[in-house]
Amino acid sequence: MKFLDDPPRFLFFTGKGGVGKTSIACASAIALARDGRRVLLVSTDPASNVGQVFGLSIGNTITPIAAISGLFALEIDPEQAAEAYRERIVGPVRGLLPDAEIASITEQLSGSCTTEIASFNEFTALLTDADGITDGFDHVLFDTAPTGHTIRLLQLPGSWTDFLDDGKGDASCLGPLAGLDKQRTIYADAVAALADQSRTRLVLVARAQRASIAEIARTHTELADIGLTHQYVVVNGVLPNPDGHDALETAIHDREQGVLAALPANLRTLPLDEVDLKPTNMVGIDALDSLFTASTAGEYEPAPATALGEIVDRPLSALVDELAANDHGLIMCMGKGGVGKTTVAAAIAVALAGRGHQVHLTTTDPAAHLADTLDGSITGLEVSRIDPAEATATYRDRVLTTKGARLDEQGRATLIEDLKSPCTEEVAVFQAFSRVIHESRRTFVVVDTAPTGHTLLLLDATGSYHREIARQMGENTNFTTPLMRLQNPQETKVILVSLAETTPRLEAAGLQADLERAGIHPWAWVVNNSLAAAHPTSALLQRRAAAEVVELTAITDHAERYAVVPMLAEEPVGVVALTALTGSAVSGV
Cα separation of 49 and 43, whole Å? 9
Query: Is 553 annotated in the active site?
Result: no
> How many CA within 13 A on the CB side of residue 58?
26
* Strand partners for 334: 496
DSSP 190: H
Query: Is 51 annotated in the active site?
Result: no
Query: Is 582 annotated in the active site?
Result: no
Cα separation of 220 and 233, whole Å? 10
Cα separation of 241 and 297, whole Å? 6
Q: Report, in angstroms and rounded to the nearest whole number, the Rg of the chain calculated over CA atoms.
A: 24
Query: Is 45 annotated in the active site?
Result: yes
From the candidates 14, 22, 134, 530, give the one annotated as an active-site residue: 22
From the candidates 14, 15, 17, 20, give the one annotated as an active-site residue: 20
Cα separation of 317 and 307, whole Å? 27
User: Nearest CA to 112 among 75, 153, 141?
Assistant: 153
Query: Is 114 annotated in the active site?
Result: no
CA angle 425, 517, 477 (to 5 degrees): 80
Query: Is 503 annotated in the active site?
Result: yes
What is the residue type of 265? A
Q: Where in 251-298 does DSSP place strands (E)?
A: 272-276
Pairing of strands 63-64, 71-75: antiparallel
End-to-end Cα separation, the chain, in angstroms: 49
CA angle 82, 83, 88 (to 5 degrees): 95
Cα–Cα distance list, 264 to 12, 211, 217, 231 (Å): 22, 12, 7, 15
* SS3 call for 185: helix
Residues 6+ apart with CB under 8 A from 513: 453
Cα–Cα distance list, 184 to 48, 57, 61, 72, 127 (Å): 28, 34, 26, 30, 15
From the candidates 14, 23, 134, 584, give the one annotated as an active-site residue: 23
Question: Chain centroid to CA 214: how far?
Answer: 14
DSSP 94: B
Q: What interhelical angle do 184-195 and 112-128 show, nearest 10?
A: 70
Q: Where in 424-523 does DSSP place strands (E)?
A: 444-448, 492-499
Cα separation of 569 and 362, whole Å? 27
Query: Is 280 annotated in the active site?
Result: no
536 contacts 300 by C-beta, under 8 angstroms: no
Cα separation of 116 and 153, whole Å? 10
From the candidates 43, 342, 455, 503, give the one annotated as an active-site residue: 503
Residues annotated as part of the active site = 18, 20-23, 45, 503
